[in-house]
Amino acid sequence: MDLDKIKKEYEEKYEIYDKLEEEAEYILGEVLVKSKIKIHLVLSRIKEPDSFRDKVERKQVKNPFKDITDIVGLRVICLFRSDIERIVNLIKKSFKVTSIDNKLEGDDSYFGYMAVHLVAEIKASNRGKRYDDIKKLPFEIQVTTLAMNSWSTISHYLDYKQEIDIPKELRRDFTALSALFYVADTQFEQLNKLRQKSRKSVTEAFKKRKPNLDQAINLDNLTAFLHKKFPKRSHTHSLYSMLLKDLKNAGINSLREIEEMYNKASDDLYKYEKSHPPDPGRIYSDVGAIRIILELCGIKLSIPVRLVGLDKN
């Protein structure tokens, strides 16, 4: 096997693999955005020529450009384990998947990198000149969680590739560290489920008009309250946490207090909005509206309504 010749051929093909990486990452990114699954990060890379050459030598493959499927590699790092299956299904719909290695269902060794590895190609239905050179080239997509990825990064940094590499006096600590990452991943999943249950419960209470307005304000019940009070205004979720902090700083601790101020100043809100619109022909978002009501009731906020430029519908 002429490794230098293989490396030279790879360098000549490098531009094509660069194109494959760009296209695969674009397709994957688009489908993830549309899915609205919260993703921590999508990474991509192409093997450097020396790395490719070393793998060909190590694996002793006969057809390196066919048998080495991770020349281009992508990694989707999500937040929760339950999202992995959803992401894998999206990948199946978006690419031609030729193999799947589900390492989540492997053994319980702490060296098992818990992720799903998929080998894929651009689908035949993706037609056009931009796909002609890359359509039949394999690439790999890994789907993992933030905790799993952190464990993988740390263990690789320590240069321990397999269990027998670890000095005996370090194995107990190494095992314990691995378990901590696994427990953290499991607890994140549980917390996410409890959060979803809490939000669903609060939302249903407002739909049934049986909310407990005397409960302490938190992000979930404040969200449900704003959605209920301002159904026709835009919902600026990114500003809810800032609003919650302002309410707490102003000594407002229950939804009841906000409800009373709303009932007192809602008519004045529309008069104010008519004479001071955020832009001609536009109205304030839900956060902008509630801030106006608070100021009309004499509550001083850390950021005046006129300076919250995002509070526009």
In angstroms, the CA 119 to CA 96 distance is: 9
What pLDDT does 257 receive? Answer: 95
In angstroms, the CA 41 to CA 43 distance is: 6
- Residue 102's identity, in one-letter code, is N
Q: Are residues 139 and 43 in the same domain?
A: yes
Comparing 93 with 172, the larger pLDDT belongs to 93
Q: Give the end of a domain, one of 171, 202, 235.
A: 171
Most confident range (mean pLDDT) of 53-57, 132-136, 141-145, 153-157 is 141-145
239 phi, psi to nearest 5 deg: -105, 0
Residue 34 lies in a domain: yes
**Number of structural domains the chain divides into:** 2
- What SS3 class is residue 74? strand
Comparing 52 with 112, the larger pLDDT belongs to 52
Residue 177 lies in a domain: no
Residue 154 lies in a domain: yes
Six token digits for residue 67? 């048998």
Residue 30 in this model has a pLDDT that exceeds 50? yes
Residue 39 lies in a domain: yes
In angstroms, the CA 230 to CA 210 distance is: 17
What pLDDT does 182 receive? Answer: 84
pLDDT tens column, 106-142: 555 444 567 899 999 999 898 888 888 898 899 999 9
Q: Are residues 166 and 224 in the same domain?
A: no
Length of the chain, please?
313
Q: Are residues 143 and 290 in the same domain?
A: no
Q: Which residues, 6+ apart, have CB-to-CB distance to 274 below 8 Å?
A: none
Q: Which of 44-53, 168-177, 281-290, 304-313 has the lowest mean pLDDT?
A: 304-313
Q: Are residues 41 and 158 in the same domain?
A: yes
In angstroms, the CA 42 to CA 74 distance is: 7
In angstroms, the CA 172 to CA 126 distance is: 51
* CATH number reported for the structural domain that contains residue 74 in this entry: 3.30.460.10
DSSP code of 237? G
Q: Are residues 161 and 231 in the same domain?
A: no
Comparing 182 with 218, the larger pLDDT belongs to 218
In angstroms, the CA 299 to CA 86 distance is: 45
What's the pTM?
A: 0.76
Its domain, for residue 246, covers 211-307
Q: Give the end of a domain, one of 141, 171, 201.
A: 171
Residue 21 lies in a domain: yes
Beta-sheet strands, E only, within the chain: 39-46, 72-78, 96-102, 116-121, 139-145
Q: Within a 10 A sphere around the Cβ of 164, how many other Cβ atoms?
A: 7
pLDDT tens column, 198-215: 889 988 888 887 788 998
Q: What is the mean pLDDT of residues 234-245?
A: 91
Cα Rg of the chain (Å, integer): 27
